Amino acid sequence: MTQPLPDLTPAQRTEVELVARGKQEKSRVLREAGQPETPEAAHSLLLRLGLWAEARTPYADRLGAALTPVMLDVPDFQEEERLDLTHLPAFAIDDEGNRDPDDAVGTQPLEGGLTRLWVHVADVAALVPPGSPLDLEARARGATLYLPDRTIGMLPDALIEKAGLGLTETSPALSISLDLDADGNADAVDVALTRVRVTRLTYTEAQARLEAGEEPFVTLARLAHASRELRESEGALSIDLPEVRVRADEAGAAVTPLPKPEMRFVVQECMTLAGWGAAIYADDHAIPLPFATQDAPTRDVRGDTLAAHWARRKTLARTRFQPAPGPHHGMGLDLYAQATSPMRRYLDLVVHQQLRAALTGGEPLSGREVAARVAQASLNADATRQAERLSRRHHTLRFIAAQPGREWEAVVVDRRGPQATLLIPDLALDLPLSTPAPVGTALRVRLSDVNLSALTVRVRPV
């Protein structure tokens, strides 16, 4: 039987907190209280005693993700030869409040009915060469950690201020160009060190310009749709599931469905094309990269319902990174590399370091060296992504607990025997429920009995 708990001494509190943070396995306090010696039990105890606020999330700490900002010195850009593209309009399009603009898009008409798509990416590798202290720190983190209540960068804020596109009058960039025909085929691909003039826009602002028929937004949309159709003809999967933005502070949490204007799709498709172009360029020049590959889906799922999209996502294999190119079946591409987020993902930075070395006459890393970086960075980035997922769930449950009488729309998207999986679109949250309702059934449910330490909530059909 659980014993009543006395006030904890400072030493006892420290002991329980270490267990809750995943830094210690044993706890005399928990044992004497008849509680399991687990991080979840320690977290529950700290909540019940009021020693931890509900806003506190221990998941990044447990998983070993870095929670302190990078404080290393950031060098200045050195003078070097760059292609001047400041005469071509370029736009960094992001969600409102984005503070690390690392990619921008633009177009250039060519003869013969071709259009040159430009994807400019912040030239982070100019400031973070392989083996530098900044490179080692970014590799140890793997990726920027995005939590609902804060962001912990993979690189220093000072670097973002220097390299972010559109944060100064002109910006150094590594630019990927694809000369595309009307059907989305690439006639030529190139990579260059450039200088660009970038205007920052939100998706809402860019969407308004598209709907007003302004260029280059109309052309960007045309290229994106042609590219998507071409990739789908090669087997690319279309997966459209609800997305939300989770924000939190000490006072509470908010979950907001993420709007999906056409320009969001357009920018995503341009980034996909940039990754394809970078991979083609590297393959043509025998440059080892952390190429992204994915096996073919395990089965074919038809339909456009939420359940179909859920099932389709489950057919996808995990993306693998390797120093030699291979097909990425989920994207319908014969080769691909993530190349547009070098401020936020370490393997994107490695892509830039490799391309920059080739462009400047340096010596790129060997395939073996790239593979070693993939192994280390992937492990660390996995911890970061898991910490993000658990923290978002934690604050989503806070949001639910604050409105106990609310009814939610849900859809049965999967089932295994008597157990079904419900998806609540307004929360982008999936939950188990014992129900005979078949896949595709819409239900109204109430959510109660939130348990933050266990990350669970009870579902009751209305």
Residue 73 exposed, middle or buried by CB count within 10 Å (0-12, 13-18, 19+): exposed
Q: 71-121: per-residue pLDDT in tens? A: 999 999 999 999 999 999 999 999 887 888 999 999 999 999 999 999 999
| Residue 354 contacts residue 397 (beta carbons within 8 Å) | no
- Rounded to an integer, what is the distance from CA 347 to the centroid of its chain? 13
Question: For residue 4, what pLDDT band results from cuts at 50, 70 and 90?
Answer: low
Please give the structure tokens belonging to residue 372: 């070693």
Taking only the tens place, the pLDDT of each residue in 325-380 is 999 999 999 999 999 999 999 999 999 999 999 999 999 999 999 999 999 999 88
Tokens of 224: 């994106």
Q: What is the pLDDT of residue 3?
A: 55
- DSSP letter at 143? B
Tokens of 309: 């999209």
Residue 55 and residue 398 in contact, taking contact as beta carbons nearer than 8 Å = yes
Task: Give dist(CA 82, CA 303) in Å, integer.
Answer: 48
Task: Tell me what percent of the residues of the chain surpass a pLDDT of 90.
Answer: 93
pLDDT of residue 99: 83
- Which has the closest alpha carbon to 320: 310, 329, 308? 329
DSSP, res 175: E
Please give the mean pLDDT across all residues of the chain: 95
Q: What is the DSSP string of 311-361?
A: HHHHTPPPPEEESS---BGGGTBSS----S-TTTBHHHHHHHHHHHHHHTT
Q: What is the pLDDT of residue 96?
A: 84
pLDDT in tens, 379-420: 889 999 999 999 999 999 999 999 998 999 999 999 999 999
CA atoms within 13 A on the CB side of 215: 8
Rounded distance between C-alpha atoms, residue 452 and residue 450, angstroms: 6
Question: Where does the pLDDT of residue 453 fall: very low under 50, low under 70, confident under 90, or very high at 90 and above?
Answer: very high
Residues 91, 87: Cα–Cα separation, whole Å: 13
Q: Which domains does the chain have, with CATH numbers?
A: 10-52 (1.10.10.10), 83-395 (no CATH), 405-461 (2.40.50.140)
Residue 420, C-beta contacts closer than 8 angstroms, at least 6 positions apart: 412, 414, 432, 433, 434, 435, 437, 439
Q: Are the C-beta atoms of 313 and 414 separated by less than 8 Å?
A: no
Q: What is the pLDDT of residues 251-276, one digit of tens each?
A: 999 999 999 999 999 999 999 999 99
pTM exceeds 0.75 for this model:
yes
1 pLDDT above the threshold of 50: no
- Residue 189 token pair: 């691909």
Work out the number of other CB atoms within 10 angstroms of the CB of residue 250: 9
One-letter amino acid for residue 156 of the chain: P
Record the tokens describing residue 204, joined without a space: 């809402």
- Judged against a pLDDT cut of 60, whether residue 2 lies above it is answered with no
Single out the residue of 346, 184, 344 nearest to residue 272, CA to CA.
184
CA 132 to CA 365: how far, in whole Å? 14
Rounded to whole angstroms, how far apart are CA atoms 11 and 171?
52
Size of the chain, expressed as the number of residues it contains:
462
Residue 24 has pLDDT above 70, yes or no: yes
451 contacts 42 by C-beta, under 8 angstroms:
no
Sheet holding 90-94, edge to edge: 83-84, 186-196, 171-180, 115-122, 103-109, 90-94, 198-202
Cis peptide before 216, with omega less than 30 degrees from 0?
Answer: yes
The mean pLDDT value for 15-22 works out to 97
**Which has the closest alpha carbon to 122: 290, 289, 356, 284?**
356
